[in-house]
Amino acid sequence: GDKLPAEEKLLLWEEIKPTMIEPLKAKQTLKVAELQDGDIICFQRSSGRSAEQAQAQDRPRQEPIRSLERFEDAREYYDFLENKRTVRFHPHPSRCDQNQYPPFDLVLNSKINYDTLSERVGSYLSIPSTHIRLWTVNATTNNPKAPVRRGTNPSLRQILNPMGNSLNSSQRADAFYFEVLEMSLAELDTKKSIKLTWLSEGITREDQFDLLVPKTGTIDDLIQALVKKAQIPDEQEGGKIRVYETSSNRFYREPRREHPIVNLNEYTQIYAERMSNEEAVAPEENFIQVFHFQNEVNRVHGVPFKFLLVEGENFADTKKRLEKRTGFKGKSFEKIKFAVVRRANYSKPQYLNDDDELWTMAATEDDYLGLDHVDRTRSLRNGVGDLFLR
């Protein structure tokens, strides 16, 4: 056959077992090398310099950190074969463009660390590894479970099998979701993610946003993030914006502008809306909290809000302002019954007539305005779609 070029040499290795690959010296006799019938010898072509370096290092080596799989010698290749696993990467269902980033598979060494894993994924996607966030996969629902933390730079095996036993694990051991970030993970760690609902047409239109705000930020910073993300006019151009929290479909509080965002309640829903000029200058005591219920005041639903009271105004005129404030139109608004609900006598709402004056009837902070109407979202919450079994 063809002869090897002068500058190339053969590297020889003995496969004692898959996890024990020992180098052989080419000038050794079979007896000195303790080779006999049935022993496995692996060889590779190499330049003279590489051969000298490899033969000089007769000791175990750690898995090298690379962005692409490339094996310098037989030991690394056998190590890869022993520890390889095929991992499926899916685009995050709500945080990643499904069309731009289709799912893909990578064959990886389970000993590689988090940094190398990110490099491999980033290399495949042609995205900087610093802008990749990985999520574990729930073993039961196949939904994203939790973002992977770099922490102490764990291995792929530790990330996919944190308990060491895949049989009882609550996460998949063969898959990740990935998210392509607009900023590096290091910068992202200085931010707090806040889910906020923007009300743009009274309370009838809800737009959901995930906003990133500095952890040291305030409600002012949250509003600025909303203006940028939703691409809406800022407060100077479009009017003042109110941010408030709700809990169980009831108004919880309207935090001050300097309120730290880290102190927002984790269990409340956050809304933001544009205020009218009258609301922007009115004192706090002139507002009443409003909620929705169906027949019984404990059957609450819908988006609660604050409403400005006007002294001396009869309820017929108040309803006109409520129609504009809520965004309910036509028959949807006409079917609503209005009642003053007092905390002291919560189970007995006092329904209002057109000639009543809400200002005088709702005289204390413990008085609320209730809108009694059908909950149109109940069928969706109860899962009508579940009736159609597949």
Q: Which residues on adjacent β-strands are paired with residue 211?
A: 194
Give the whole-number percent of the chain exceeding pLDDT 90: 65
Q: Read off the pLDDT band of 239 (50, 70, 90).
A: very high
C-alpha 79/C-alpha 76 separation (Å) is 5
Tens of pLDDT along 297-310? Answer: 999 999 999 999 99
Given this model, what pLDDT does residue 389 score?
37
Q: Is the pLDDT of residue 212 over 80?
A: yes
Reading the block at residue 289, the tokens are 């909290």
Mean pLDDT of the chain: 87
- DSSP of 161-198: -TTS-GGG-SB-SSEEEEEE-SS-HHHHTTEEEEEEEE
Burial class (CB in 10 A: 0-12, 13-18, 19+), 81: exposed
More confident residue, 35 or 292: 292
Phi, psi of 348 (to 5 degrees): -125, 85
Q: Which residues contact 57 (CB under 8 A, 6 or more apart)?
A: none
Phi, psi of 151 (to 5 degrees): 50, -115
What average pLDDT does this structure show over 212-225? 96
Question: How many CB atoms lie under 10 A from the CB of residue 387?
Answer: 7
More confident residue, 377 or 138: 138
What average pLDDT does this structure show over 252-278? 96
C-alpha 143/C-alpha 172 separation (Å) is 10
More confident residue, 288 or 35: 288
Q: Read off the pLDDT band of 378 (50, 70, 90).
A: low
More confident residue, 82 or 208: 208
Phi, psi of 223 (to 5 degrees): -65, -40
Q: Is the pLDDT of residue 316 over 60?
A: yes
pTM, 2 dp: 0.69
3-state secondary structure of 339: strand
Reading the block at residue 237, the tokens are 């151009």
Q: Is the pLDDT of residue 65 over 60?
A: no
Alpha helices (H) in the chain, listed in sequence order: 48-56, 74-83, 114-125, 156-160, 185-188, 219-230, 235-238, 277-281, 315-326, 331-334, 358-361, 378-381
Reading the block at residue 94, the tokens are 């709500």
Tens of pLDDT along 338-376? Answer: 999 998 777 789 999 999 999 999 988 899 999 999 998
- Domains, in order of start, for the chain: 1-50 (no CATH), 84-182 (3.10.20.90), 193-275 (3.10.20.90), 284-377 (3.10.20.90)
Give the dihedral of Cα atoms 238, 240, 241, 246; nearest 10 deg. Answer: -140
Q: Which residues contact 232 (CB under 8 A, 6 or more apart)?
A: 198, 200, 226, 238
Reading the block at residue 112, the tokens are 């590689």
**In angstroms, what CA-CA distances link 45 with 7, 14, 38, 41, 48?**
10, 15, 23, 14, 9
Nearest to 155 by CA among 85, 217, 104: 85
Tens of pLDDT along 93-148? Answer: 999 999 999 999 999 999 999 999 999 999 999 999 999 999 999 999 999 999 99
Q: Is the pLDDT of residue 229 over 50?
A: yes
Q: Read off the pLDDT band of 385 (50, 70, 90).
A: very low
Burial class (CB in 10 A: 0-12, 13-18, 19+), 189: exposed
